[in-house]
Amino acid sequence: MTENAEIVSKVLVHEENEEILAQIRSFCDVNNLIGMRVRSGDLVEVIKGSINLGAILLNGAEPQATIKMAHQIRRLRPEVPIFLRLEEGSSLEQLGLDAEQTESLFAGQYQLSDLSGLKKLVNSFVFSMHYPPSMVLGIQEISDTALRSTFRDSVVNIGHPFIVRDKSIFGELLSLMELESSWCRGYMMLQVDKPGLIDAIRDGRTSLPPEEARIRGIDSMLSEITNLIWGGIKGRFFSGSEQASTQYRTQVPIIVNHVDKYITFGVNQPQLCIRYTVEDKDDHDSFITVYQRFIFHMAWSPEQYKESENAMNQMLNSGDLELF
């Protein structure tokens, strides 16, 4: 298992100038961003795909082309913020847009001469929610244990936790489990590719007989993984004595678009996402990928977060921890 709670986010960068790309690359390196270069001809096709994104960086060198591109992005991926780079000495007025149109297209703008503007945009729109590192590591440990106990003779590679703002769905199967405590309220979502799960059952990697590699079997397997992770999170982070307030409780509709492969929770908040690749422990061939998302869209107070006393008691009982 890879123990790393440092959170990153992917951004698409539309730039042609190599010197400018080098400056943006340096900025990404020190701000936990994974920059991916996109050429104008490929941008629309790229954003149509199921790439998890935190933001898109456009350049304003050609105003009319930029505006057209921004409209296309807004139509295809309205939840992803667009950061506009203005040329030195230029202004938004030169784009020919009024204030309302500008706000509807772009989350904000910046110039290379002062990248503090881009830093503020990243903090406001990409990393606007704080996830305690111990919580992220705990989730990774719980999920790693659940996946290894489900799939025989396997190891789990865990990718960097990252922040996404898009609504794209990976794979053909997903499960949702509500998470609720005095300091958070939302959902955990697991997304899995169906062929990988079917092959794992057929190859005897699970407790199910190979002939169960049908709808009922794969549903049962995904439910088992979801319950194992949910139970671990509940036991580790949610105290049994705490009560979530039911006063003035609101519910937000969850909408799934099967055709365009996206799910929306009714808000445009960044989501914590972790990618798990399950491999054969001997030949290291990967046979299934799981994307895990956390959407705390109805309540989120990380300042009140603390690991459950159950975790401490477990370490005391095992001898890993002692009082003095």
80-89 pLDDT, tens digit each: 899 999 887 7
Confidence band, pLDDT 50/70/90 cuts, at residue 300: confident
Assign a CATH topology to domain 133-318.
Chemotaxis protein chec (3.40.1550)
Confidence band, pLDDT 50/70/90 cuts, at residue 249: low
Lowest mean pLDDT among 61-65, 181-185, 188-192: 61-65
Does pLDDT of 241 surpass 90? Answer: no
Does pLDDT of 310 surpass 70? Answer: no
The rounded distance, in Å, linking the Cα atoms of 190 and 277 is: 13
| Look-up of token digits 């096709």 | 45
Does pLDDT of 42 surpass 60? Answer: yes
- φ/ψ of 185, rounded to 5, equals -155, 120
Residues in the chain: 324
Task: Delimit the domains of the chain by residue range.
Answer: 9-126, 133-318
> Each residue of 272-302: b (16+ CB within 10 Å) or e?
bbbbbebbbeeeeeebbbbbbbbbbbbbbee
Q: 118 versus 283: which is more confidently predicted? A: 118
DSSP of 295-315: EEEEEE-GGG----HHHHHHH
Q: Which 8-state DSSP code applies to residue 8? A: B
Average pLDDT over residues 170-190: 91
The rounded distance, in Å, linking the Cα atoms of 141 and 5 is: 11
The rounded distance, in Å, linking the Cα atoms of 300 and 130 is: 9
Closest CA to 183 of 273, 292, 307: 307
Does pLDDT of 308 surpass 60? Answer: no
pTM: 0.72
Which pLDDT does position 314 carry in this prediction? 61
Given a contact cutoff of 8 angstroms between Cβ atoms, the answer to whether 151 and 200 are in contact is yes
Architecture (CATH level 2) of domain 9-126 = 3-Layer(aba) Sandwich (3.40)
The rounded distance, in Å, linking the Cα atoms of 17 and 67 is: 19
Given a contact cutoff of 8 angstroms between Cβ atoms, the answer to whether 296 and 123 are in contact is no
Confidence band, pLDDT 50/70/90 cuts, at residue 248: very low
Q: 203 versus 303: which is more confidently predicted? A: 203
- Determine whether 202 is exposed, middle or buried from the number of CB atoms within 10 Å of its CB (0-12, 13-18, 19+): middle
Does pLDDT of 65 surpass 90? Answer: no
